[in-house]
Structure 1
Amino acid sequence: MGTEAPTVVLVDNSPAIKKLFQRSIKDLGIELKIFDTAADSWNYLKDNQPDLLFLSIILPDKNGLSLLKDLRKHTLHQNTSVIMVSSKDYAQDKLDAVELGVVDFITKPMPIQMITDVVIKYTANTSN
């Protein structure tokens, strides 16, 4: 397929988090897609597999863990690398996320360098 840029999807309705992600990966040569709601992200994700998906637990229309459960039912997303993002540091959320195969769990707010490091870590070998 050539040298396509890795794709990272962020599903989070926080303007501050969206801006933080945009700033943190702007120089990495990565395509960033941002969605505010589970429904908007589903319209994209039903036909596309990103290299990395950041998914907020708290969304306006659906719990992020519930969205992830739905995504895992589809062949396209059974192995998608997912990082859960939450302002709450609840043990049960982390356990549920691990059961759904997430690769990491990040508690907001997170430093910009953490986002950059995590994106590099999980997209380093994905460009085709």
Structure 2
Amino acid sequence: MGKRVLLVEDEPNIIEAIRFILSRDGWAVETHSDGATAVDAVLAAPPDVLVLDVMLPGKSGFDILRELRAAPATEGLPVLMLTAKGQLRDREQAERYGVNSFMTKPFANSEVLETVNALFEGATGAA
């Protein structure tokens, strides 16, 4: 079975950049842009890795992460959080809620690819 990533992001340019980077590496990339329904989307078809923006319409990435960590089905889901702000308190809040990795926009394409692959390998034990 292939590697699946769900990208919860509302900025079209970021969506296309990440989709291109990951799909070229063999990932099946699904996207979701509404924070209010993101938890339902994750629970309906849990991905191998979740890439989650902090600022989303309807519900923040922090709230989404907190809900996912509280659900048994997704408490161990590898999550990479993206933010345009990159303030220390955002990183600290994400870590309190159980994020696996945190990245500030703009990011290097290679950094996203390496991080998503590392999260997948750490979760599955794949080498």
- TM-score of the superposition, structure 2-length normalised? 0.89
Q: Select which of 61, 66, 69 maps to 2:63.
A: 66
**Native 8 Å contact 2:39 2:67 kept in 1:** no
In structure 2, the residue matched to 1:47 is: 44
SS of the residue 1:76 aligns to: coil
In structure 1, the residue matched to 2:20 is: 23
Cα distance between partner residues in 1 of 2:72 and 2:58: 24
Deviation at 1:48, TM superposition (A): 2.5
CA RMSD of aligned residues (A): 1.5
Moved over 3 A (4+): 124-127
SS of the residue 2:44 aligns to: coil
Q: Which has the higher contact order (CA 8 A, sep 6+)?
A: 1
Cα distance between partner residues in 1 of 2:120 and 2:76: 14
Cα distance between partner residues in 1 of 2:98 and 2:70: 12
Number of aligned pairs?
Answer: 124
Higher normalized helix content (fraction of residues)? 2
Unaligned runs of 5+ in 1: none
Unaligned runs of 5+ in 2: none
Q: Percent identity?
A: 25
Deviation at 1:75, TM superposition (A): 0.5
SS of the residue 1:9 aligns to: strand
Q: Select which of 56, 73, 77 maps to 1:76.
A: 73
